[in-house]
Structure 1
């Protein structure tokens, strides 16, 4: 949709008036048929509640009376499915059923309603140097949940290619791409194939009528007419507007006032319990996030101000203000409505500008593992981590950065984030997570430069300090670390091997194109050459071994693929650590290969332990491992 929503609606209205009466009647009936079609899909995929919602929508939109008996029959089926589903859920919650065995379940969240907040072993501390941050007061074991939180607000990223598919027309097939906006709810980010579109625009879609209504009341009522303009302004501007709309005038004015006695406790040292303080999901905590305005360039400040002014003008023409931003429960009165709305709109614009400046340093990317779709004609599935949304988490934003953090993050249930201890955390130790630049993926100078540019601080974490000290003191390089800081060097002449790296990567890229036999020949040649100049545990050796394993798997040679993947796992362990989630996912692929080859039971326990440690006991990889184990043991 290239036109703004209002112009688009006018365009559609003109086309509608030009239609013949018979065509109008035909297209009107398609609306009810679409609801019934969604209803059938919901029932097919065992979503009885969604099916009932679609039946109500079809009746509301005027479904033909002579076909209503079919909807009633389907409603009866839904109630039967719903009762069976509830009984199955009760059986699943019996103490006898466990997905993770041993000590892994001791530190996992209980099955049931999601508990949001900080664990009792952690408190919010505050110092002049670090500001507010989280500190452990008791011992926290590896894998234990530290924080579970829902975002204050989030925005789905448009245009992110997520799933590839094929559609046929006139006997021909063409490849099409489905973005995240086509497969995920625009409010809760839940992935679904049965989306409920907005009744007014052609972009926003939701997983249920409940999400649709909640989004409409919270922000979409005013975003709908500005859809194209908001997309042009960028994700940060849209997220800032959503935060302000959700907060409302009362909370904004309260946040601007000096901190009173009843609010001081959550800012003092050793404050916890975010559910009852500003350290939880309240707007006060979002409002008090640092914006580092004194570090922003004049050009950035000007751009943010112009963006906010443009949004101010667009909102002034969009209609009456939100009820949450009105002094009266029913909005401004008719006599001085424009004047009242101008005053409130001015404060709304002020709030939006405040949040645009804050989000540059405090926004959090929501990422998921997704099939790339490159393996349509291959038995090997390829996954990659993609960013699907940008959000602001009030408590997660309190965590300071470390290039080698003691926590790991995982996003589940749509938008919820869970922070787990990646290693043993002792009392008094600060809770840290990585803002992006990680010591296992990037050299010290590059990490520090990126952090300085975006977050305006010179990183002095343990990893940066240790590596800086090692660079100042001459030392013998450890095996497998050649070239990690200064680039690859020839072991004979000490010359740069940058050109060789590019050649090796080109050989790896060839793997994605048929035939796999040709790619395998090139990979074998590259492995022989790299073995002369690189240690076995070098990251590039791991990439080549992984690519070779994929080539063998594409040809159905599972044993050879598993052998090369084991070599890749050695390099992964050297680069990321023996307790890393990267090693867990690599061993998960090894378990899949051994399942086809025969020896998966020896690998599954270690994979289960690592994935439980970082991702929790209910991630889909562990469910697949459980199914594999049951199949092999049964």
Structure 2
């Protein structure tokens, strides 16, 4: 998403104010500088405080807006335009003044009673009542009854309550009469897959992959064994996520699933939730951004993801955790520097030549022995410090375990465990790769400006800088701490955030099911996978904020497991991909597809085109059908037959096996057009074809690509899809 016009104007004004000083200012921004040094310098620029001030639209509830939406909804309801009437009543509920959200559910309808005078929240009550009428007309009786309860709970006028209660009684009668056969307007199907062979040390990760490290690739995952197409490799909940602006009114801001009758945020008119459970879960981080949501919504999604990473943590916890993280980083850096210096000294020693005066040689050796003694002493001291630190951590662990054993209050035990879990999750998000060294000074200056604006918004919002639940103005040290942390998260989100999609299926199957990108998120483990323009795995959303990683093709042992960072990489030329990578991620892609300058697929091949008899086994750039080979069999099959006998491969049957697999694939595609959820057998058929082509086909192959994209589409539909009645389909 493009940056908000407000920020663009502010940043342009800031750069103009710097004028001739800009080159001098940019000298303070480089990959060698720490986030603290860069942001501290930026915070000290008077021009930043004068120019980088984002306008904050009014984000409070508005009774007049709620009444306007309700009036419009009533007009649409009388015209029998129920879809638009429902939207208007939802907006009326979002804008209507609302009582504070409860800490726990207070009633069967999951809302707190409206405190104060009965008329205090009458606008909200009337909107709920009107929405219940729409839901009754749409024969959604469960939702209708919930809205009736919410209307009464929030002070619906006593004189008219008999009408609402009568509607509720009719709902009960209709449900009994129809026996639960009423067609649902929206049915969200979620499937949380289980990993067949999980890693004992990490139950949400398959034992088929292992984390590795190299100077060229950094941290990455390798296959431990041969991984089959369709095999589940990882499931992880997004640490931070956000909806695209257009989906805020219709989707839950926590689990990112669509809901027809959402619950509003009690304080702002922008955010909705599917249930009180999600509202309670999201309130902890949303409270920091609630009053400034109007300014945050137009900002790029990765910025909001970065802010979400920070606001999951309270300021006191952030100070403690950052101190620990910085100490760990310093120790790791010192250890790395020491190893580098030792290697350098050894190299210099190996490169010394003979000759020279004896006295100089003795002096040189004396100095070397002295340095070696100092290095050994330093190593001894370092080992002592490590032992002390290890003993300290062991002692702290024992003390924690003792507290857990001695604590009788189970809630306290749970809180301690939750805090340790949150600390571990934040630590993983904090260490996500930032590619800081690959950004230019102007890009880092721009990122600092973004972090500066977000820090200012947190200060204005009054929900993050809290002391005894009261907002305060942060001192410079606290502002720099938060701003530098935001800068780090912004750089990490820019190169690690991924899109989140759902599949919408019309109930009549009149339209083809299609994925829709609804949001953006960041998961620490997913961030460790490197990119390839011809990825070996793909990411899908399972609902509830959970992401799943599935193998797209056969992955041999020792090969890296990769994902596609860009949407539709395979539809771009190599030059276009490289340009995008350099601007967004700060690196040039060196995957096999880019190294070989593979041709771009201008569009997803239409099934009819891919499955034409002549085009079926053709490869991009191959000869015409008349002169093309009759099968996609790899040239290595032309080797001596004896070499394949041991593998059980009948060379004569390979083309026939491929054609049989493709014939079954055609049948699967036909069934997929009619079925919302693909069957296990159909998934297996597609996986078998991919494996067969992995072994025998030359690449790139349009059929091989089409089968992988089909597997991705089927997996997404299997894990999460929303079945929607035609008139509500979009």
| Shorter-chain TM-score range | 0.5 to 0.7
- Report the counterpart of residue 271 of structure 2 in structure 1: 204
CA deviations 1:573-593 (Å, max 9, x no partner) are 8569999xx999987664477
| Alignment deviations for residues 73-98 of structure 1 (CA, whole Å, 9 cap, x no partner) | 669959x99xx99xxxxxxxxxxxxx
Cross-structure match for 1:567:
612
User: 8 Å contact 1:566–1:590 — kept in the other structure?
Assistant: no
Which structure 2 residues correspond to residues 402-441 of structure 1 after superposition, within 5 A? Answer: 402-436=532-566, 440-441=570-571
**Residue in 2 that maps onto 1:349:** 483
Matches of 1:346 and 1:70, distance apart in 2: 56
Q: CA deviation at 1:608?
A: 9.1
2:252 maps to what in 1?
A: 185
1:312–1:349: 8 Å Cα contact kept in structure 2? yes
1:308 aligns with 2:451: yes
- Is 1:290–1:358's contact at 8 Å kept on the other side of the alignment? yes
Q: Work out whether 1:129 is the aligned partner of 2:195.
A: no
Q: TM-score, normalised by structure 2?
A: 0.51
Q: Distance in 1 between matches of 2:452 and 2:532?
A: 37
- Any stretches of 5+ residues in structure 1 without a counterpart? 17-23, 86-98, 160-179, 265-274, 472-483, 486-537, 547-563, 596-601, 626-634
Alignment of 1:70 onto 2:165: yes
Q: Partners in 1 of 2:713 and 2:231 — Cα distance?
A: 11
Aligned to 2:311: 245
The 1-side partners of 2:588 and 2:429 are apart by 24
Query: How many residues get paired?
Result: 456
Deviations 1:511-531 (CA, angstroms, capped at 9, x unpaired):
xxxxxxxxxxxxxxxxxxxxx
Once the 2 structures are TM-superposed, how far is the Cα of residue 150 of structure 1 from its aligned partner? 1.2
The alpha-carbon deviation at position 138 of structure 1 amounts to 3.2
Q: Is the CA contact (8 Å cut-off) linking 2:254 and 2:544 kept in structure 1?
A: no
Q: Which residue of 2 aligns with 1:535?
A: none
- Aligned in 2, Cα 1:311/1:65: closer, same or farther, shift over 3 Å? same
For residues 257-296 of structure 1, what are the structure 2 equivalents within 5 Å?
Answer: 257-258=327-328, 282-296=425-439
Q: CA, structure 1 residues 348+126, in 2 after alignment: closer, same or farther (shift >3 Å)?
A: same
Structure 2 match to 1:361: 495
- 3-state SS in 1 of match to 2:249: helix
Cα gap change, 1:314 to 1:13, in 2 (>3 Å): farther
Does the C-alpha gap of structure 1 residues 432 and 573 become closer, same or farther in structure 2, counting only changes over 3 Å? farther
Which residue matches 2:127?
A: 34
Check whether the contact 2:208–2:225 (CA below 8 A) recurs between aligned residues.
Answer: yes
- C-alpha contact 2:502 2:721 (8 A) present in aligned 1: no
After superposition, what is the alpha-carbon deviation per residue over 1:478-528, rounded to whole angstroms, capped at 9, x for unaligned? Answer: xxxxxx47xxxxxxxxxxxxxxxxxxxxxxxxxxxxxxxxxxxxxxxxxxx
Instruction: Choose 1 or 2 for highest CA Rg.
Output: 2
- Write the distance in 2 (CA, Å) between the matches of 1:574 and 1:356: 41
- After superposition, the Cα gap between the structure-2 partners of 1:414 and 1:248, relative to the gap in structure 1 and judged at 3 Å, is same
Could you say which residue in structure 2 is the equivalent of 1:517? none
CA displacement at 1:244 relative to structure 2: 0.4
CA contact 1:360–1:454 (8 Å) conserved in 2: yes
Task: Indicate whether 1:455 and 2:553 are aligned.
Answer: no
TM-aligned CA distance change 1:71 to 1:624, over 3 Å: closer
Residue matched to 1:226: 292
CA drift of 1:140 comes to 2.5
CA distance 1:13–1:341, change in 2 (3 Å): farther
Q: CA deviation at 1:437?
A: 7.2
Q: In 1, are the aligned partners of 2:195 and 2:233 still within 8 Å (CA)?
A: no
Shift in alpha-carbon separation, 1:196–1:398, aligned structure 2, 3 A: same
Match of 1:60 among 153, 159, 178: 153
Aligned partners of 1:321 and 1:331 also within 8 Å: no
CA separation of 1:572/1:310 partners in 2, compared to 1, >3 Å: closer, same or farther?
Answer: farther
Counterpart of 1:506? Answer: none
The corresponding residue for 1:530 is none
Higher-RCO chain (CA-CA 8 Å, sequence separation at least 6) = 2
Flag structure 2 segments of 5+ consecutive residues without an equivalent. 1-5, 7-53, 68-116, 181-189, 332-388, 394-417, 622-631, 633-657, 676-680, 689-706, 724-730
* TM-score after normalising by structure 1: 0.57
CA distance in 2, matches of 1:402, 1:34: 50
Alpha-carbon contact 1:152-1:393 (below 8 Å) kept: yes
Q: Where does residue 318 of structure 1 map in the other structure?
A: 461
Aligned Cα root-mean-square deviation (Å): 5.4
The alignment partner of 1:567 has SS state of: coil
CA distance 1:407–1:592, change in 2 (3 Å): closer
Instruction: State the shift of 1:296 in Å.
Output: 1.8
> Are residues 624 and 34 of structure 1, via their aligned partners in 2, closer, same or farther at CA, if it must alter by over 3 Å?
closer
Residues 1:150 and 2:216 are matched in the alignment? no
**Alpha-carbon distance change, 542 to 457 in structure 1, aligned in 2, over 3 angstroms:** closer
Counterpart contact for 2:535–2:562, Cα < 8 Å: yes
**Contact between 2:438 and 2:587, CA under 8 Å: does it hold in 1?**
no
